[in-house]
Structure 1
């Protein structure tokens, strides 16, 4: 279990937000109405309550901040030193101390002003004291504003720290930068650490988890360390030193024997010897990485000598039970994270060494003796030299065999048993067709394709498909015959020679028009029809139509008269009205004077044509009795749409404000009593 969860620390507000939160809560949670006519004791009580409530809110919020941040002296030394490396524990303690001082000052201010309020002689005096008390409290919070901002920055950074349990099984990876530490942790865990071909890609601790022998191990990737004095190391390197110093873990010291990291084996050996004091009493494994570039046997004699010295030092770090160094198996290993050769062997060796050490320490602890005292294993003493092997009666063995046979008969063979009998997983494939119900069992294993010649086979699996196809063809033939009977095509056999020439000219003209239409559609001339008043070229006129009909040998008089009568329907009325305005007598086409009432009625009807119907007028066929019933129906319909319209205003956010002016914020203070409305 991880003991320290820094992600649960409450957000630390800024000084201004802190004041707004407290004063807003005081205004909402305490009475706000007081009058001069009240008794002075009631006025004093009113303002004392304000001061006490504000002080209590400040005290609670500040106490939460102080208690939720970890005490560096009480937590595990690993986290204590890590926080000191990252934030400087003096500044951290100073900020928390200022918050504690502010809490005490606010308590003293409230105490002093409550005493003064007990002797306030008027509403004005009490109110002035209350304002002064709250103002001094806010001033104190403003002064600790930088400390609040500093603690908020620390809280955000601590929330991003990995969750490391200092007491669980841990594998720690260390070494020079760019030697393959992050690549290794990515191979054996699900961690996704950034890997780049330059130094100090990893700038903080990263944690992954792996399993070995049904146990969970945490693997920690540390930033690279350089061989230089302790005082010159930066924060990134100090994170690694802190983890090495305080975590009880198996240490994997990575060694790049190819030199591609930019550092020689001599430099890496010097780093090993400078920090070997941190490896005491810990399982240590020296891992020679990047063997795909350079094999261990191919390095120079000087480098091999340095590697052997490091191996000897690794033997001395962990002392066995009898005071002798442990065996050298698994102290020096080789691998390549690129080809993954030896990666699992290194992981298994580290987990095994760590497990052995933890078991050994537990065997030495007093806790084991407490457990052994609770066990008692009874061992019977021999009474003579005669051997007494276990004896099972024959009847029992026969009954057991008979029972096993009956159970085997009853038990149906499972697919798992068949798989084990026929070579195991990957060799035996279970048949999904053995339980098909078919007329012949031999058909079960027939291969039936789903797609054949580009068609879906199941579209053709229909016993009546031929019969239905014949019916469809017969029905289609009958329809075509009906259509052929209904169509009428003039063949021109019954026409005179003049009529045949006219028909040929019409058909020719029709084909030309079709071709022109197709050309217009295929070009940019495909545009809407132009109204006649914008026909500047006078292409579409009755005279032109008359000339075209005359060339065909037809009389155009009837067609021209019909076109004129259609286009001059309303112009006739306007000319009559215009003549009426000029004082002329109204005459119709026959020279008779029409009835003036009929003319006025026709004019009123034409004008009333554009008037809209009243909203609640009942239209025949709507099924409503009168306008009142229609008005009621319209109102009910609008009311039913109200909820849907309200839901339609919801945005993409989760927070929905159905009413823009909620009643509890705009209806004054609540009196003492029920709060069911909220």
Structure 2
């Protein structure tokens, strides 16, 4: 899912100005082309065109807003939870509902005043009906001002969401900060570098892809530790969502420099291993002490980068056969 295409949601007056200006131009064009009509019939046709353009332009913009936002309930669970984490879920749905209400109401008003204009038999009421229509339509659009403002705030937040391929076999890389996760991500995907970063406030989820001739594997470097489920910060909660809803498999990175103790790293490993199959990798073997490397490698089945990639490809092939 890609939220980058969400367009700016303007304030009510912007849409009203666009609609009224286009309507005025169309009315002038009509005025200059009508021939053989008496003043009454000419005025009626001009005002009919005016209200028609107002309705058309306003609803074109409002429908574009409504359709540009995804149907929340049909999104992958990862995005549903991310929306609930970063936005007021109820206010978002309420605001989209308000736009839908405005679209429907403007359409009803147009039909009502089109009928009134067509039945009008008194010249002095034509402009009165048009003014009534413009006033009521303007009131409808202004009633959703707060909703439009909130939708634009939602748009800004949602544009920062990662473009996750939710139907692709996904591997999440976990480990403590500075454990070497991003380095592993780059090295595993280096043959076909398709690595991008999607910002979440001050932290990032980093994405890369392992390509074969037949399929791709999505690899995600997930910030945060998840080692304190009851006290997760903002980015750790996002990492938890990736683990829970995206990961088919986890690669856990041990750091033999022990910036975080082995006990802390093992605690995090146990936490992750409860729900997902985990493959183990040991980083920084070129600079860590031999003693620290052996302490981990003798206790756990550690895979190197080539073995990891081979294992992941086999996992995908097996998963495809099981479909």
User: TM-score band, normalised by the shorter chain?
Assistant: 0.7 to 0.9
Measure, in 2, the Cα distance between the counterparts of 1:113 and 1:132.
9
Q: Report the secondary structure of 1:7's partner residue.
A: coil
Q: Alpha-carbon deviation of 1:99?
A: 0.9
Q: Per-residue displacement from partner, 1:513-563 (whole Å, max 9, x unpaired)?
A: xxxxxxxxxxxxxxxxxxxxxxxxxxxxxxxxxxxxxxxxxxxxxxxxxxx
The size of the alignment, in residue pairs, is: 314
- Aligned pairs (5 A) from 1:274-289: 274-279=271-276, 282=277, 284-289=278-283
The 1:14/1:278 distance shift into structure 2, 3 A limit, reads farther
The 1:144/1:234 distance shift into structure 2, 3 A limit, reads farther
Matched, 1:362 2:314: no
- Residue number in structure 2 paired with 1:241: 240
Measure, in 2, the Cα distance between the counterparts of 1:351 and 1:72.
35
- Residue number in structure 1 paired with 2:302: 332
Measure, in 2, the Cα distance between the counterparts of 1:148 and 1:98.
9
Measure, in 2, the Cα distance between the counterparts of 1:62 and 1:358.
43
Q: Report the secondary structure of 2:253's partner residue.
A: strand
Mapped contact 2:173–2:252 kept (Cα < 8 A): yes
Mapped contact 2:6–2:69 kept (Cα < 8 A): yes
- Residue number in structure 2 paired with 1:97: 97
- Aligned pairs (5 A) from 1:68-83: 68-83=68-83
The 1:163/1:291 distance shift into structure 2, 3 A limit, reads same
Q: Report the secondary structure of 1:6's partner residue.
A: coil
When you count strand as a share of all residues, which structure comes out higher?
2
The 1:287/1:363 distance shift into structure 2, 3 A limit, reads same
Q: Alpha-carbon deviation of 1:130?
A: 0.9
Measure, in 2, the Cα distance between the counterparts of 1:237 and 1:118.
62
Measure, in 2, the Cα distance between the counterparts of 1:92 and 1:111.
29
Q: Alpha-carbon deviation of 1:59?
A: 1.7
Q: Alpha-carbon deviation of 1:110?
A: 2.3
Mapped contact 1:205–1:220 kept (Cα < 8 A): yes
Measure, in 2, the Cα distance between the counterparts of 1:68 and 1:125.
39
Q: Alpha-carbon deviation of 1:154?
A: 3.0
The 1:126/1:85 distance shift into structure 2, 3 A limit, reads same
The 1:13/1:294 distance shift into structure 2, 3 A limit, reads same
Q: Alpha-carbon deviation of 1:120?
A: 3.4
Q: Alpha-carbon deviation of 1:227?
A: 1.8
- Residue number in structure 1 paired with 2:142: 142
Given the two structures, how large is their TM-score scaled by the length of structure 1? 0.42
Q: Alpha-carbon deviation of 1:173?
A: 1.2
The 1:28/1:349 distance shift into structure 2, 3 A limit, reads farther
The 1:350/1:17 distance shift into structure 2, 3 A limit, reads farther
- Aligned pairs (5 A) from 1:188-267: 188=188, 189=190, 190=193, 191=195, 203-211=203-211, 216-230=216-230, 232-260=231-259, 263-267=260-264
Measure, in 1, the Cα distance between the counterparts of 2:266 and 2:177.
14
Mapped contact 2:23–2:49 kept (Cα < 8 A): no
Matched, 1:17 2:11: no
Q: Per-residue displacement from partner, 1:243-267 (whole Å, max 9, x unpaired)?
A: 111224331112223222xx32222
The 1:161/1:202 distance shift into structure 2, 3 A limit, reads same
Q: Report the secondary structure of 1:275's partner residue.
A: helix
Q: Report the secondary structure of 1:99's partner residue.
A: helix
Mapped contact 2:256–2:292 kept (Cα < 8 A): no
Higher RCO (CA-CA < 8 Å; seq separation 6+): 2
Mapped contact 2:207–2:221 kept (Cα < 8 A): yes
Q: Alpha-carbon deviation of 1:168?
A: 2.4
Q: Alpha-carbon deviation of 1:100?
A: 1.0
RMSD of Structure 2 on Structure 1 (CA): 3.3
Q: Alpha-carbon deviation of 1:70?
A: 0.8
When you count helix as a share of all residues, which structure comes out higher?
2
The 1:163/1:300 distance shift into structure 2, 3 A limit, reads closer
Q: Alpha-carbon deviation of 1:223?
A: 1.6
Measure, in 2, the Cα distance between the counterparts of 1:184 and 1:298.
19
- Residue number in structure 2 paired with 1:127: 127
- Residue number in structure 2 paired with 1:52: 52
Q: Alpha-carbon deviation of 1:218?
A: 3.0
Measure, in 2, the Cα distance between the counterparts of 1:132 and 1:86.
41
The 1:177/1:354 distance shift into structure 2, 3 A limit, reads same
Matched, 1:6 2:6: no
Q: Alpha-carbon deviation of 1:299?
A: 7.2
Task: Point out where structure 2 has 5 or more consecutive residues left out of the alignment.
Answer: none
Q: Alpha-carbon deviation of 1:192?
A: 6.9
The 1:296/1:131 distance shift into structure 2, 3 A limit, reads farther
